[in-house]
Amino acid sequence: MNPELIISMTSWKRRISDVGMVIYSFLKLEPVCDFKVVLVLSSDEFPDKEKELPKDLLLLKKHPRFELLWSAKNTKAYKKYFPTYRKYPDVPIVTVDDDAPAKPNFLSTLWHLHLKDPKRVIYGYNGTPQNREGIDYVRYGVGLFPPKSLFQLDEQFGIDIFGDMDDEFFRLLHVLAGSKYFAINAYDVLHIQAINQESALGVQIGLQWKFIPSIWNDLFKRMPKLHKLWTENVSKSND
């Protein structure tokens, strides 16, 4: 039987030694609903699979609310959602990062907000949204995606267009699907960047963010039908 809610994340080799602590912070939350935590790892990155994982992470496999899910292709941050979605298409999925442990109110806040309108996406903003050329550029510390709330484009499309900026891709998908959203402050429910991020990765993403306006503009020029759908739906999503 499927759970009522799934908290899904991914990790990589340089942070795998710390992810067990982050996962445990979610597992020990008060179960206001039937939930489970899924960690998606790539066998491309961990070819020997469990033999390469730290002992504390392997011990968590015994927990009834934890699942380790393997994905053949390494789609980086995008795999915190898509492999889980393909296995559990009818369950709301909460995506989180592997460097931000949960605060005690994490699950209750998201679940009670979800019950107010089960079809709405929930975003936890990590920073202040910036609006340029009619598009909000944001960082999300957490996202809750109900079934059928995202437009059907696979993660390779997101990688090809947005690179490591998966937040932008999820923004595109929820607007194209015509989904409305609630917004919360991610800092209210997560210990943001409690684990040190890889500095080189941060620099790389920072450089990519400088090109966000041109990325969106190029996408819409190349795909006018997609742009038309975006224009029709973007104001509705903010209702």
Q: Which domain holds residue 199?
A: 5-237
- Is 161 in contact with 222 (CB distance < 8 Å)? no
Q: What pTM, to 2 d.p., does this model score? A: 0.92
Residue 238 CB partners (closer than 8 Å, separation 6+): 180, 181
Q: What is the model's pLDDT at position 237?
A: 76
The CATH number linked to 82 is: 3.90.550.10
Q: What single-letter amino acid sits at 116?
A: K
Place of tokens 């980086």: 76
**C-alpha 172: how far from its chain's center?**
13
Note whether 173 and 140 are within 8 A (CB).
Answer: no
pLDDT at residue 196, rounded to an integer:
54
Q: How confident is the model at residue 58 (pLDDT cuts 50, 70, 90)?
A: very high
Please indicate whether residue 163 or residue 194 has the higher confidence score (pLDDT).
163
Based on the structure, what is the number of domains in the chain?
A: 1
